[in-house]
């Protein structure tokens, strides 16, 4: 069993399967009757049903053969427009086994952008979740001359242009009756460098770009986690992340490599409830999920007050002290150890139980996680491993290890990959997980890939152990009119750890003589605050109240006390609405579209500098 990121089974990486189809079929053969997927089912006892690997293998073979019967050829694109659900995964695996390439579409994508993605990728077939997703294709049908057939997971089919999953499976079953070995034959012939996926970046600016990712890139991602040895068949994953995003896809690849079962439910509002029922051993998530959980737990304790709050505060003071001593190799005095054991029973065990009580670690990615939030969870016995990657790196490129987790870093680079820091601080990467390029965009590809090195656009630094710390996005760094550089994301992350009511905090100050901030508050958290503080009305009334502004001002003052003078936030404005994907101010992976937010609030920003 490996004990750190430097200890891994190199033979697993070197002897990896040639493609995702071969990897999947091998997993079916090896794991057979073991549980593969668990999914919500109101009719089932306990509300969840399961599929074994054998059952998944049969369905995927039928769907893959159905696609072949429809006419799918090698590397032709098949779209999937759906929220995360087990059918999404089976459809993707079917595309892989048929030798096609999946084009991912977020379910929140507008009809015109959906049409653009499917047209740009030249999709011949598309899986859709329901009638809402189908309606987008109907609206854009004139723009999709190459789209021949739509397969719906739950919606209504017309038997012609639109068919159901069962219809597709019936086509495949009939085909396999005459050619039972066809899927295995195809899986054995797919080259490792064949196109597997076109993932369209959600795009903080402009039209989304299609990132071309090979079969070998995905296989490599999975076997690296297998080689590290910290996940096995005995683990249980809870998966809610958008499968349209590479973070979700890489967790699927890790499952194929390691063989653990996965409970799938893409409904974000069900995460906490489901964790208590599913009781997983690990989960991947964006930092916002951890920040929100941290804020909710701390504000609830604050509201209870009295003895409960005193015990809670003392527990975390002791927990953070003990945790720091252990990480630094210092001894824990007997009295402190006894206090820690008591608080573990009284406080920390209850925090862990909120997440099911069996979590060995969480994996955080897609944006920077605040170090203080990570330490708070660690003190409660909940390990968060931060990782780093891009769509262009097939998600993972760095990750921390449970036995050597360096807070504030994203871990060391994956074995088999190279990293270097450019003169201007930009992180450059080269390796088997790097994209082939942007689909039909040669100039953008040449700009991003220079002599085989991917220019990530992120600024970072490597410590003596080779652990990477990301300091900011290159394009987000700005310089004040006084000539001082400011890294806004670092300040924004610090504020999220200070203020439990914030949803998003946007620092602005490029070529200005001081920094300002736009503040969006979490609707659920601020409603609870308002009830405790005698503020009535709807969300807008609450966030525009003098009491709310006074509360936020206190947290801004606390933030400023730890910043350099030129970084301090001199003025701020609380927005009357939270940032959302629907408003176009957040990407589907919950990144802030800075230019959109700044454009939407140009008058407010000018007024703050007036």
Distance CA 414, CA 419 (A): 9
The string of DSSP letters for 83-131 reads -S-HHHHHHHHHHHHTT-EEEEE-TT--HHHHHHHHHHTT-SEEEESSH
The answer to whether position 4 is within a domain reads no
State pLDDT tens for residues 292-310.
Answer: 888 889 888 888 889 999 9
Distance CA 490, CA 598 (A): 18
Over residues 431-449, mean pLDDT: 96
What pLDDT band is residue 368 in, cutting at 50, 70 and 90? confident
Secondary structure of residue 243 in the 3-state scheme: coil
* Residue range(s) defining the domain that contains residue 197: 10-281
Classify strands 426-430 and 453-462 as parallel, antiparallel or unpaired. antiparallel
Task: Write the CA distances from 77 to 20, 123, 154, 195, 280, integer angstroms.
Answer: 16, 5, 22, 9, 34
Q: What is the CATH number of the domain that holds 50?
A: 3.40.50.980
255 and 404 in a single domain? The answer is: no
Q: What is the CATH number of the domain that holds 322?
A: 3.40.50.12780
383 and 403 in a single domain? The answer is: yes
pLDDT more than 70, % of the chain: 98
Residue with more model confidence, 253 or 292: 253
180 and 292 in a single domain? The answer is: no
Tokens 């965009």 identify what position?
A: 441
The answer to whether residue 138 scores a pLDDT higher than 70 is yes
- Beta-strand ranges (E) seen in 432-557 are 437-438, 449-450, 453-462, 468-473, 478-479, 485-486, 502-508, 515-521
Q: How many domains are contained in the chain?
A: 3
484 and 459 in a single domain? The answer is: no
Helix H or strand E segment including 428: strand 426-430
Q: Token digits for 235?
A: 């683990």
111 and 198 in a single domain? The answer is: yes
Question: Which of the listed residues 413, 448, 473 is the one where a domain comes to its end?
Answer: 473
State pLDDT tens for residues 530-549.
Answer: 999 999 999 999 999 999 99
265 and 291 in a single domain? The answer is: no
552 and 572 in a single domain? The answer is: yes
The answer to whether residue 107 scores a pLDDT higher than 80 is yes
15 and 73 in a single domain? The answer is: yes
The answer to whether position 321 is within a domain reads yes
- CA neighbor of 79 nearest in space, from 55, 43, 109: 109
Q: What is the pLDDT of residue 2?
A: 47
Question: Which of the listed residues 449, 473, 497 is the one where a domain comes to its end?
Answer: 473
543 and 564 in a single domain? The answer is: yes
542 and 593 in a single domain? The answer is: yes
The answer to whether residue 448 scores a pLDDT higher than 90 is yes
Cβ-contact 60, 90 below 8 angstroms: yes
The answer to whether residue 37 scores a pLDDT higher than 90 is yes
Cα Rg of the chain, angstroms:
25
State pLDDT tens for residues 458-469.
Answer: 999 999 999 999
The answer to whether position 251 is within a domain reads yes
pTM recorded for the entire structure:
0.86
The answer to whether position 5 is within a domain reads no
Distance CA 35, CA 438 (A): 37
Write the CB contacts of 428 (distance below 8 Å, at least 6 apart in sequence).
419, 420, 421, 422, 453, 454, 455, 456
């Amino acid at each position: 069993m490996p004990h750190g990121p430097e200890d891994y089974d190199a033979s697993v990486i070197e002897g990896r399967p040639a493609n995702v189809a071969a990897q999947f079929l091998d997993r079916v053969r090896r794991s057979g009757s073991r549980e593969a997927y668990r999914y919500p089912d109101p009719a089932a006892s306990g509300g969840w049903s399961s599929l074994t690997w054998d059952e998944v293998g049969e369905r995927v073979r039928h769907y893959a053969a159905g696609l072949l019967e429809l006419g799918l050829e090698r590397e032709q694109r098949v779209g999937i427009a759906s929220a995360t659900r087990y059918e999404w995964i089976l459809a993707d695996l079917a595309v892989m086994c048929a030798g096609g390439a999946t084009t991912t579409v977020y379910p929140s994508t507008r009809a015109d952008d959906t049409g653009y993605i499917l047209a740009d990728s030249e999709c011949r077939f598309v899986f859709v979740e329901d009638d809402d997703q189908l309606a987008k294709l109907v609206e854009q049908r004139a723009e999709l001359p190459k789209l021949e057939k739509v397969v719906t997971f739950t919606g209504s089919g017309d038997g012609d242009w639109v068919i159901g999953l069962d219809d597709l499976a019936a086509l495949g079953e009939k085909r396999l009756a005459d050619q039972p070995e066809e899927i295995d034959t195809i899986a054995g012939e797919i080259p490792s460098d064949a196109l597997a996926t076109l993932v369209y970046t959600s795009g903080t600016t402009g039209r989304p770009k299609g990132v071309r990712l090979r079969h070998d890139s995905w296989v490599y991602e999975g076997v690296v986690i297998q080689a590290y040895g910290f996940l096995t068949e005995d683990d249980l994953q809870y998966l809610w992340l958008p499968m349209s995003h590479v973070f979700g896809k890489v967790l699927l690849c890790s499952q194929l490599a390691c063989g653990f079962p996965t409970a799938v439910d893409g409904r974000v509002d069900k995460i906490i409830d489901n964790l208590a029922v599913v009781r997983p051993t690990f989960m991947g998530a964006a930092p916002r999920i951890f920040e929100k959980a941290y804020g909710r737990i701390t504000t609830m304790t604050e509201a209870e007050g009295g003895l409960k709050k005193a015990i809670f505060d003392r527990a975390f003071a002791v927990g953070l002290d003990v945790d720091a001593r252990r990480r630094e190799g210092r001894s824990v005095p007997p009295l402190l150890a006894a206090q820690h054991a008591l608080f573990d029973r009284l406080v920390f065990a209850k925090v862990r139980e909120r997440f099911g009580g069996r979590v060995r670690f969480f994996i955080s990615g897609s944006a920077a996680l605040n170090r203080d939030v990570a330490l708070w969870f660690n003190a409660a016995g909940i390990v968060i491993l931060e990782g780093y990657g891009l769509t262009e790196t097939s998600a993972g490129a760095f990750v921390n290890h449970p036995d050597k987790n360096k807070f504030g870093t994203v871990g060391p680079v994956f074995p088999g990959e190279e990293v270097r820091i450019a003169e201007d601080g930009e992180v450059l990467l080269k390796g088997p997980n790097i994209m082939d390029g942007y689909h039909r965009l040669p100039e953008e590809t040449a700009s991003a890939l220079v002599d085989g090195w991917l220019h990530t656009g992120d600024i970072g630094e490597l410590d003596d152990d080779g652990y990477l710390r990301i300091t900011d996005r290159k394009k987000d760094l700005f310089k004040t009119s006084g000539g001082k550089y400011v890294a806004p994301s670092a300040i924004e992350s610090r504020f999220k750890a200070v203020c439990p009511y914030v949803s998003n905090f946007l620092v602005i100050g490029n070529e200005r003589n001081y920094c300002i901030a736009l503040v969006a508050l979490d609707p659920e958290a601020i409603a609870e605050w308002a009830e405790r503080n005698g503020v009535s009305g709807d969300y807008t009334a609450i966030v525009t109240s003098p009491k709310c502004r006074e509360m936020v001002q206190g947290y801004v003052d606390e933030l400023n006390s730890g910043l350099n003078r030129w970084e301090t936030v001199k003025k701020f404005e609380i927005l009357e609405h939270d940032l959302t994907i629907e408003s176009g101010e957040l990407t589907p992976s919950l990144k802030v579209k800075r230019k959109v937010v700044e454009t939407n609030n140009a008058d407010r920003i000018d007024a703050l500098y007036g």
